[in-house]
A and B are shown apart, each in its own frame.
Chain A
């Protein structure tokens, strides 16, 4: 009997020590002076404004010490905000909406991409996709579980097509099925992979076109700058200073007059890409961030956010609506007259 009680006591003590160790391992939010900014993906031209804010001294000039950290597969800025590993981050709209559904404390400060870079590439020798019904009979690549699957399903539904009218194939990380012409229409990030594929096929004498869902009324919001509601409440001035510095850096980065300087800064972080590709990627990034000279960088397109949420509800990506508009705290895009 005594032995049994001892064993239970030892197990209890062990669990308590383990829990305490794990709690101690969690860093407190906003512990030091350094602000951690977690990007969504690796350093490349797509995050040019974030790179410039760091290496171009925009954060320093604003009196901030910011550590800009690369993202990648398995990294999730919203989770890091909650765990205290990051103070600011970049997340896509679907991540924000999923997090809100599960009770995360997250707010959107700015929408970096006014046009979603997720588009589809196809060869010019194929008949052009002028209307959504032109998708019928095509062999389309999608990443099952990814944003592109949700977007494509919405496009097909809008065109009155079903999965029987097209052929859908699972996409993986390399382009082989598209290069081998096994798949006709392949999802790419227009300003990064899109440029690389366009160049590679041009070298083989092939021309390409891009199919942009936004041209067919499907605006699924991409990367946005986020922070936690607690950070917004406790340190509003820090948030304001951070955002001012970051958006100024983006303005500088997409200004064609600063191209040489900007490319030199990107090269420091992403030296695995060829100079000419980087230059073309920068050219492709500008209209996605600032589609016209009048657009203020970072403005939030509330209508697109609402549409993104509606799509996710319809596609059963979330069970209940989250009223995403309530978490959009940054400046909104003015409604067109």
Chain B
């Protein structure tokens, strides 16, 4: 899973780069508009190590932001699943806040929290949280009638059991959503760094953009792509292992 993720990313990256180079050489553009291969390699030689550290810095905030988002999404999703009013209220709120551009909300966040770690964490969580919440709410609010009916009829239904049944029956969906939300959390952290932080890959991209240095941006994108592929690969592998454990009862065989 992990290696597949990485080589899939490499294929996409190489295709994108080939298209750019085809345009460059086809239209006879200078290195200022689209950098040539030599310039990209030179830039990678100079910047790649630093950019990897920057991405790791960004990733540390991303992981934390995603964990907070998952916890919050499950907490609110489980609470909001019963009441139709509360559920619909949370959904409307989530849709509305998602619609606000984060660049418009960012100044308020920076005034309240400064432009350090907390602002990055909050923006990463915000961008990642709402899509997760909507998925979790959707899953938790949909009864699995065939199974739940038995426990309700026998009077053994508790809220923990209800949550377990719905999570178990939608495990594929949940693991996909959680793995997918990693990219959202990463994007959120990069946006926050781009707007106001003084560290992380978003901040480095901002500097490269100030200097119209596309070679630096391509190297930064490569670093982000590799690390997010590894992170997503790990999440998916963990998801697969969880599924295997859940589906195979203790001491029994996997069907």
Contact = CB atoms under 8 A, between A and B. Distances in A.
Contacts of A19: 19, 22-23, 26
A23 B26 contact: yes
Contacts of A172: 110, 115, 195-196
Interface in A290-309: none
B30 A99 contact: yes
A176 B111 contact: yes
B31 interface: yes
B212 A95 contact: yes
A248 interface: no
A105 interface: yes
Interface string B208-220: 1111110000000
B208 A145 contact: yes
B30 A146 contact: no
Contacts of B206: 145
B32 A22 contact: no
A76 interface: yes
Contact of B198 (A83, A101, A144): A144
A102 B198 CA distance: 28
B77 interface: no
Interface in B166-213: 195-196, 198, 203, 206-213
A82 B23 contact: no
Interface residues of B, number: 29
B118 to A, nearest CB: 15
B64 interface: no
Contacts of A8: none
A15 B17 CA distance: 12
B33 interface: yes
A170 interface: yes
B43 to A, nearest CB: 11
Contact of B22 (A22, A101, A104): A22
Interface of B is mostly: helix
Nearest to A172: B196
A73 B35 CA distance: 20
Contact of A145 (B23, B30, B31, B210): B210
Contact of A26 (B27, B35, B196, B213): B27
Nearest to A18: B19
Contacts of A212: none
A136 interface: no
B174 to A, nearest CB: 36
A237 interface: no
Contact of A102 (B18, B30, B209): B30
B30 A103 contact: yes
A146 B18 CA distance: 30
Interface in A275-325: 317
A170 B211 CA distance: 16
Which of A78, A102, A144 lies at the interface centre, i.e. has the most chain B CB atoms within 10 A of its CB?
Answer: A102
Contacts of A104: 30, 32-33
B22 A145 contact: no
Contacts of B207: 144-145
Given A22-B19, A102-B35, A104-B32, A76 B212 contact: yes
B153 to A, nearest CB: 56
A175 to B, nearest CB: 10
Nearest to B212: A76
B107 interface: yes
A73 B210 CA distance: 9
Contacts of A79: 32-33, 212
Given A18-B19, A82-B33, A104-B32, A98 B212 contact: yes
Interface string B8-39: 00000000001100110011011111010001
Given A143-B210, A172-B115, A172-B195, A83 B22 contact: no
A33 interface: no
Contacts of B209: 73-74
A23 B206 CA distance: 28
16 contacts: A15-B18, A19-B23, A23-B23, A26-B23, A79-B32, A79-B33, A83-B29, A99-B30, A99-B212, A101-B32, A102-B35, A103-B31, A104-B30, A143-B210, A145-B211, A173-B195
Given A98-B212, A102-B31, 9 more contacts: A15-B18, A15-B19, A83-B33, A99-B30, A146-B210, A170-B115, A170-B196, A170-B198, A176-B111
The 7 closest A-B pairs by CB, nearest first: A145-B207, A102-B32, A102-B31, A145-B210, A103-B30, A104-B32, A170-B198
